[in-house]
């Protein structure tokens, strides 16, 4: 592995960006593989899969290549799935204490700490702190927020608390990290979200455009935008694709700055910015997809959450994409909330309470949609795929579609889909060889139809 890291480091290939980090013993700094600085001697280098591990070892992030801005990578791939879920919960729930996260994992907090220490060498508390500091550093470099706002957005109770931890871990204060004074606008934020090339933007763009909800979403030649909600918090974002710089330039408006990190997590998932396109391509070739048919840089085009994905899947049962799109827009037009010329996708409770008579479809499917909305309103985050299967009218295909687009699950295989069946026979694909990346095989075969 060290030899592979060495070759990747010297190549400065952007496809390896975010997959590992390079710590230089003589300077005490760690960098991305694409750092423009002169490469150090190999005997002065240490490699880490996570930036958090380098920080734990006492290295501070480079101000030139900015490890905080590297594409995120599932560096825990191949380890205990409990560790994977735990890291995601730590990242996505900055205000939830460690014991509650361990409870959600079905383990004790002591065992959770032992798992993380064994697999990545960092405790849950340290991982969360480093995650907060890296995010704060990114905002200080890129954003227009005050230090106090950066502290709130990254989960610190005050600017002083942020400054104390930043100085202790990185050796720099927030003021030193921020190169110049910026105009502060608490409502409008701008950040960049990087990805590893290639990125099949034309496919993602067209897929989203065909399924776009009017007045909620907007798709242009080079951007995707939508209105969003976090409970009572309202927001909006536009992500503009930049192929040359390998990132999305994201503009954001948000009522509550504390929801910024969860929003960016959602955007990364919707645009699938964390996947490894070279690994995916290799899996597709192994499954039997011809090299000339491969969509280079294929991603999973996600939706906001599993409830929205479920509504799309139920409305799409036994009808064409065009007909499903019309039903979806009718649902949002009659049930979705409208505020200040902005429309938002309806909540589970709004759908559960609506008569749904405007939806021109069989009453049995209308009832399925209502029961699904009632279930999601009652159980919220506790809902699971097995629970959905207990609802009348929801079968394995519907649940799989909800997981594919609502959770961006990487290994969803829609083998009962009619288009997929035809493509398997036509191209003689062996799906199992693409595991655990069969969601991408599903999308690849859809694109070839």
3-state SS class at 157? coil
DSSP 397: H
CB atoms within 10 A of CB 46: 16
Dihedral angle over CA of 93, 249, 312, 377, nearest 10: 30
3-state SS class at 250? strand
Q: Based on the residue annotation, tell me whether 255 is a catalytic residue of this protein.
A: no
- Identify the CA nearest to 221 among candidates 202, 238, 193: 202
Which residue matches tokens 């295909």?
Answer: 397
DSSP 43: G
Which residue matches tokens 């649902």?
Answer: 331
d(CA 180, CA 326): 49
Which residue matches tokens 């290639």?
Answer: 198
> Are 266 and 308 in contact, with CB atoms under 8 Å apart?
no
Cα–Cα distances in angstroms (integers) from residue 18 to residues 140, 194, 292, 300, in the given order: 20, 10, 28, 19
DSSP 253: E
Give the pairing type, strands 29-31 and 60-61.
parallel
d(CA 367, CA 400): 20
Cα–Cα distances in angstroms (integers) from residue 74 to residues 120, 164, 272, 410, in the given order: 12, 29, 12, 12
3-state SS class at 285? helix
- Identify the CA nearest to 75 among candidates 37, 121, 108: 121
Residue 217 corresponds to which tokens in the numbers above? 């979403």
Q: Catalytic: which of 13, 363, 417, 425?
A: 417
Helix residue ranges per DSSP H, 68-215: 81-92, 98-105, 109-120, 124-142, 147-153, 159-170, 174-177, 201-210
Buried b (16+ CB within 10 A) or exposed e, 68-96: bbbbbbbbbeeeeebbeebbebbbebbee
Q: Tell me how far the alpha carbon of residue 170 is from its chain's centroid.
A: 26
Phi, psi dihedral angles at 316 (to 5 degrees): -95, 0
Residue 47: strand pairing partners: 22
List, by residue number, the catalytic residues: 417
């Amino acid at each position: 592995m060290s030899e592979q890291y060495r070759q990747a480091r010297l190549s400065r290939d952007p496809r390896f960006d975010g997959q590992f980090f390079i710590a230089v013993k003589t300077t005490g700094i760690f960098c991305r593989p694409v750092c423009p600085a002169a490469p150090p001697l190999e005997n002065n280098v240490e490699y880490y899969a996570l930036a958090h591990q380098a920080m734990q070892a006492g290295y501070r992030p480079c101000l030139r290549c900015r490890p905080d801005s590297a594409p995120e990578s599932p560096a825990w791939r191949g380890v205990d799935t409990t560790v994977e879920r735990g890291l995601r919960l730590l990242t996505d729930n900055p205000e939830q204490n460690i014991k509650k996260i361990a409870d959600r994992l079905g383990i004790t907090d002591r065992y959770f700490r032992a798992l993380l220490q064994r697999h990545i060498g960092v405790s849950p508390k340290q991982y969360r702190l480093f995650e907060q500091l890296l995010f704060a550093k990114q905002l200080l470099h890129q954003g227009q927020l005050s230090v106090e706002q950066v502290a709130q957005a990254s989960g610190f109770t005050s600017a002083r608390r942020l400054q104390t931890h930043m100085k202790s871990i990185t050796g720099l204060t927030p003021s030193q990290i921020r190169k110049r004074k910026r105009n502060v606008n608490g409502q409008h934020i701008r950040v960049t979200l990087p990805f590893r090339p290639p990125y099949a933007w034309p496919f993602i763009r067209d897929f989203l455009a065909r399924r776009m909800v009017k007045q909620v979403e907007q798709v242009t030649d080079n951007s995707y935008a939508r209105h969003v909600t976090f409970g009572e918090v309202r927001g909006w974002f536009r992500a503009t694709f930049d192929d040359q710089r390998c990132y999305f330039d994201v503009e954001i408006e948000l009522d509550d700055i504390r929801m910024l990190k969860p929003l960016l997590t959602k955007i990364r998932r919707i645009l699938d910015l964390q996947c490894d396109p070279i690994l995916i391509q290799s899996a597709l070739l192994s499954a039997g997809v011809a090299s000339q048919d491969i969509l280079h840089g294929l991603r999973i085009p996600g939706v906001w959450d599993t409830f929205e994905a479920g509504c799309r899947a139920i409305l799409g049962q036994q009808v064409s994409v065009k007909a499903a799109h019309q039903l979806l827009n009718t649902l949002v037009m009659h049930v979705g909330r409208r505020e200040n010329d902005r429309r938002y996708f309806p909540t589970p409770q709004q759908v559960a309470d609506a008569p749904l008579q405007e939806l021109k479809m069989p009453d049995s499917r209308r009832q399925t949609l209502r029961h699904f909305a009632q279930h999601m309103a009652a159980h919220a985050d506790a809902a699971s795929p097995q629970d959905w299967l207990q609802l009348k009218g929801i079968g394995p295909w519907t649940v799989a579609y909800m997981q594919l687009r609502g959770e961006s699950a990487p290994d969803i295989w829609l083998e009962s889909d009619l288009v997929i069946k035809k493509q398997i026979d036509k191209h003689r694909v062996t799906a199992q060889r693409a595991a655990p990346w069969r969601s991408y095989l599903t999308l690849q075969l859809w694109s070839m139809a």
